[in-house]
Amino acid sequence: MSLLTRTAGATADDLKPSSRGPKESILSRGAALIVMGVFTLYFLVPIWWLFIASTKDRGDLLTTNALWFADWNFFANVGDLLTYNDGIYVRWLLNSLGYAGVGALLATVFAGMCGYALAKYRFRGREAYFNTVLGGVLVPATALALPLFLLFSQVNMTNTFWAVLLPSIVSPFGVYLSRIYASASVPDELIEAGRIDGASEVRTYFTISMRLMMPALITVFLFQFVSIWNNFFLPLIMLRSQELFPVTYGLYSWNTQLNQIPELRTYVLVGSFLSIVPLIIAFLLLQRFWRNGLGTGSVK
């Protein structure tokens, strides 16, 4: 009744910006759009610059407009990059794919199982374990690099593929997310039903629970993939052989040698541009799951 009266009695004054309610004013909407527009530009301009820079040869790079094309040398640059130093760049890209792909996959499997166990099984010290893992989220990976190096030195595993891969398969954030998600999306009844039908715990997990947790697992995978791909400090500390470098570290080491080998400037730029392509692909492919994943938990 009161609602009706209010609506009926609404005057033009009530619709002015001062009126309450979820409806936004054109002004604030416009402001929001402008702010978003500015930030979008702010994020996209460096990528645009990178793309433009990778299409130029060395002379044009310094002398022509930084945000617009000069002579188109993109493919020639890519060709040079891929053949420089026996194609070491391709090797670095494959290494990165190896570290990030395998690392993220294993991290997801472990984090998923761990989070599931924490959510669905009752055992002594469960909260203590969980809180410890949660504490792990707060420790920056950089702070762990040096202790890890000393540990790996003890077992003579520095400067190996494993030195970068093994620390990457740990994802405290993944465990956290998996636990939250599993307790919200995997009904106890379903697990019980599985047990009654005689399925083992492992089988129940892999055939039923894991599928229900898929959106969360995809999210964990994506997060972990990106953070391993971008991880720089760990390879810097662990690796000495060029053949083992991931692409970020390889490009960085080129970048520190610009004074001696000027042509590296072009390679670093083209190399950086190419190195973000796999990340973009991963995002586009998995985005559907990802949005789904973040949304599902919140609405339930």
Residues that bind other proteins (CB under 8 A): 58-59, 61-63, 66, 121, 146, 149-150, 153-159, 195, 200-202, 236-237, 239-242, 252-253, 255-262, 265
Shortest spacing between CB 82 and other proteins, in angstroms:
18
Give the long-range contacts of residues 86-94, CB within 8 A, separation 24 or more.
Answer: 88/242, 88/243, 88/250, 89/247, 89/250, 89/267, 89/271, 91/243, 92/245, 92/246, 92/247, 92/249, 92/250, 92/251, 93/247, 93/274, 93/275, 93/278
Shortest spacing between CB 43 and other proteins, in angstroms:
21
Tokens of 54: 């990778």
Shortest spacing between CB 79 and other proteins, in angstroms:
20
Task: Pick between residue 219 and residue 248 the one whose CB is nearest to other proteins.
Answer: 248
Task: Pick between residue 218 and residue 237 the one whose CB is nearest to other proteins.
Answer: 237
Shortest spacing between CB 83 and other proteins, in angstroms:
16
Tokens of 24: 């936004």
183 in Cβ contact with 120 (< 8 Å): yes
Task: Pick between residue 178 and residue 248 the one whose CB is nearest to other proteins.
Answer: 248
Task: Pick between residue 30 and residue 59 the one whose CB is nearest to other proteins.
Answer: 59
Closest CA to 161 of 275, 239, 278, 249: 239
Shortest spacing between CB 232 and other proteins, in angstroms:
9
Task: Pick between residue 255 and residue 296 the one whose CB is nearest to other proteins.
Answer: 255
Q: Computed from CA positions of residues 146, 152, 153, 158, in that sequence, does the dihedral angle turn out positive or negative? A: negative
Task: Pick between residue 13 and residue 197 the one whose CB is nearest to other proteins.
Answer: 197
Shortest spacing between CB 12 and other proteins, in angstroms:
55
Task: Pick between residue 11 and residue 259 the one whose CB is nearest to other proteins.
Answer: 259
Shortest spacing between CB 265 and other proteins, in angstroms:
8
Give the chain's end-to-end CA distance (angstroms, integer). Answer: 32
What is the C-alpha separation between 195 and 183, in angstroms, rounded? 18
Give the long-range contacts of residues 45-52, CB within 8 A, separation 24 or more.
Answer: 47/276, 50/269, 50/272, 50/273, 51/273
